Each structure stands twice: as C-alpha cells, then as structure tokens.
Amino acid sequence: MRYTSLYITILLSISVFFNAQAQKKKKLKGKDEIAIVSTDFGEIVFLLSDKTPEHKENFIKLAKEGFYDGTIFHRVLKGFMIQGGDPNTRTDGDSTRIGIGSPGYTLNSEFTDELKFDYGTIGMARQSDEINPSKSSSGSQFFIIVSRDGAYHLDSDYTVFGRVIKGMEVAEKIADLEINSDAIPLKRHEINIKVVKLKKKDIVKTYELDNF
C-alpha cells in the first residue's frame, strides 16, 4: 500500500511537471517586441508587460517614432533610480523646462498586484498627487529602479510597465554619474531606442528568462 501511494505521488508529480511545461510552451507561441536602449555605456534591453497594455503600446509607439532619440537620463539618483524620456532634454529642446516635457498627453494608471517595483523594473513617471490625484502617468517619461532592495513604497502609486532583461550594469553606471543640484548629469550622454520584434521563445532563450 505504501509503495502504491508513493507510485501515485510520483506519477502526479510527473504529470504536474509536464502540464506546466506544456502551458509554458503554449504561452510562448507568437512574437513580442523588446526595446533596446543604446547609451555611451552599452545597451539596456526592456521587456514590456502585457499586464499594462496602454503603457506598453504607448512606449513602443514613441520608440518607433524616434521620440526618445537624442534625449538623456535627466534625473539620476544613485542607489535609487534613473529617469529619462523628456523631449526637453534634446539639444534643441527647452533646457529651462527639463523634467516636465511630454508628448502632450497622459496615460491612465494601470496598477496590478502582480507587478512590483523590484530591482530592474521600469515605471512611468507622473506629476504629484496635489495636481494629479488620479495618478495618471506621464506620456513619455520613465524610470528604472537601480536599488538592489527594490522601491516597494512606489507600488500602487506609479505604474510598473516592464523590466530590464539585459544591461542593468549599464543602468548602474548611469546612476553613478556626477550630477548637479537638480540631479542632472554634468556630462551629456544621449540615448536612442529601437524596437525589435522576436519570437517569444527566442526572447526567453536569448535573455535566459525564467518567466515571460
């Protein structure tokens, strides 16, 4: 009886394992787009979340239009985060208005308990609660968490819409840049962003992802 029970347990374990693998393969059908941020220090690769579709679609759209090209990470807080996406940071932008630039619209917040501000996650910036009680996101400004402990105090206040799957060492180099009193780097380091469509299974394999 004991051996029969053990045998059944083993069979159930095997069944669960193969069902999980089958489900994983099923989810990996089709293609997805990743964003590649080119910097003077190397590349940072973003995987954007399907759980925040409005933010994902918007970021991809702007990147494809070249909206981010020639901008900089204009707010750098060592050990916390780096922020970019302001069109005013281009060389032909309004340097007196750095930090408030946008494409002229905001995005509805897309909070989900499944996405937390872990190390390497990407969030959308926004205006303060006083003038933005709905917590709508900026139309273009984003930030990357470089704190190894995460930034969970931001959960349900700012929308997480993706994560870095390659190049956190690059983000950390940017976080270490010398800055002025407004947290703007003293030396200019422009970024460019391109979007690449790949098979989901190739993304998982190339970037050695445990989950997609």
pLDDT digit string, tens, across residues 180-202:
999 999 999 999 999 999 999 99
Cβ count near 89 (within 10 Å): 26
* pLDDT reported for residue 1: 54
Contacts of 74 (CB under 8 A, 6+ apart): 83, 84, 86, 89, 98, 99, 184, 185
Dist CA 90 CA 85 (whole Å): 10
* pLDDT reported for residue 116: 98
pLDDT digit string, tens, across residues 99-134:
999 999 999 999 999 999 999 999 999 999 999 999
Residue carrying structure tokens 């901008």: 71
Domain boundaries, the chain: 31-206
Dist CA 135 CA 84 (whole Å): 19
Class of domain 31-206: mainly beta
pLDDT digit string, tens, across residues 3-53:
555 555 555 555 554 455 555 555 688 999 999 999 999 999 999 999 999
Confidence of residue 60 (pLDDT cuts 50, 70, 90): very high
CB 11 within 8 A of CB 21: no
* pLDDT reported for residue 27: 67
